[in-house]
């Protein structure tokens, strides 16, 4: 792995930085699906002790991004049609619940930010800027989770998003699908602004269902 993993300097604990670095390496496939990883090798690559790596791997196992091996070490998850469907089924339930709460509990400032993030995602999609679209997609969903005002639900929803993203990475959205996705962001933000809990929940569930269909490999 060598220089493939580099910790970004952020105002977070070392454990959080290690977790975020390995997580992004899995989602971007810098760490290949099905590959074995060990605390010792990751610690060496990142230039840290084994302790924050051990903590990060335990958190990643909770998310579902790594799996324990029978003897020692862990393996990076591999995508399959069934795994992708199951991840999105879970995510659909959570995103619907989060959107409903966001419509009920979000502040005016949070709503304004959601509208702005939804519009940015649409702008990037229409510009065919896949990298910035992916970032804005994540920012929008993060904003909805935060607006729900339930930190535990926010944590679980984020885990489901990360898992589905990692499983989907090999099947990136087309430009046209990204535009459809971004337009759904705008509609969800509008429902939350209107305090329409039922509509926000339905739109969020439909959004996740549609993204799954865009992402599924051919049977």
**CATH code of 13's domain:** 1.10.10.10
Whether residues 33 and 85 share a domain: the answer is: no
pLDDT for res 218 = 64
Rounded distance between C-alpha atoms, residue 100 and residue 204, angstroms: 9
Whether residues 202 and 178 share a domain: the answer is: yes
Beta-bridge mates of residue 36 = 75
pLDDT for res 11 = 42
pLDDT for res 48 = 94
Domain edge (last residue) among 76, 104, 129: 76
Domain edge (last residue) among 76, 104, 119: 76
pLDDT for res 152 = 95
Domain edge (last residue) among 76, 102, 119: 76
Compute the 3-state secondary structure of the chain and give helix, strand, coil in percent, each to the nearest 5: 70, 5, 25
Which tens digit of pLDDT belongs to each residue from 89-103? 999 999 999 999 999
Domain that holds residue 127: 81-215
State the CATH number of the domain containing residue 88.
1.20.120.530
Which token pair is 112?
A: 């304004």
Whether residues 86 and 121 share a domain: the answer is: yes
Whether residues 98 and 186 share a domain: the answer is: yes
- Check: CB of residue 23 under 8 Å from CB of residue 162: yes
Q: Who contacts 77 (Cβ-Cβ below 8 Å, separation ≥6)? A: 26, 33, 64, 65, 66, 67, 83, 163, 166, 167
Residue position matching structure tokens 């990204």: 178
Q: Which of 114, 116, 110, 118 is nearest to 186 (CA)?
A: 118
Total count of domains within the chain? 2
pLDDT for res 13 = 84
pTM of the model: 0.83
Taking 70 as the pLDDT cut, the residues of the chain under it are 1-12, 169-172, 218-219
């Amino acid at each position: 792995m060598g220089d493939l993993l580099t910790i970004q300097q952020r105002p977070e604990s070392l454990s959080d930085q290690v977790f975020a670095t390995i997580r992004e390496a899995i989602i971007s496939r810098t760490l290949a699906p099905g590959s074995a990883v060990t605390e010792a090798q990751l610690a060496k690559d990142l230039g840290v002790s084994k302790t924050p790596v051990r903590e990060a791997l335990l958190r990643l196992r909770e998310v579902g991004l790594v799996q324990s091996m029978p003897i020692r070490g862990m393996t990076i998850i591999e995508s399959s049609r069934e795994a992708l469907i199951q991840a999105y089924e879970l995510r659909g339930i959570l995103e619907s619940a989060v959107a409903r709460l966001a419509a009920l509990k979000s502040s005016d400032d949070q709503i304004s930010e959601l509208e702005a993030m939804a519009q940015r995602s649409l702008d990037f999609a229409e510009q065919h800027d896949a990298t910035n679209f992916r970032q804005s997609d994540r920012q929008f969903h993060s904003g909805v989770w935060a607006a729900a005002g339930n930190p535990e639900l926010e944590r679980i929803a984020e885990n489901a998003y990360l898992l589905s993203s990692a499983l989907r990475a090999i099947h990136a959205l087309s430009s046209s699908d990204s535009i459809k996705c971004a337009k759904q962001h705008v509609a969800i933000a509008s429902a939350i602004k209107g305090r329409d809990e039922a509509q926000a929940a339905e739109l969020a569930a439909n959004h996740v269902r549609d993204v799954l269909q865009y992402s599924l490999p051919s049977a």
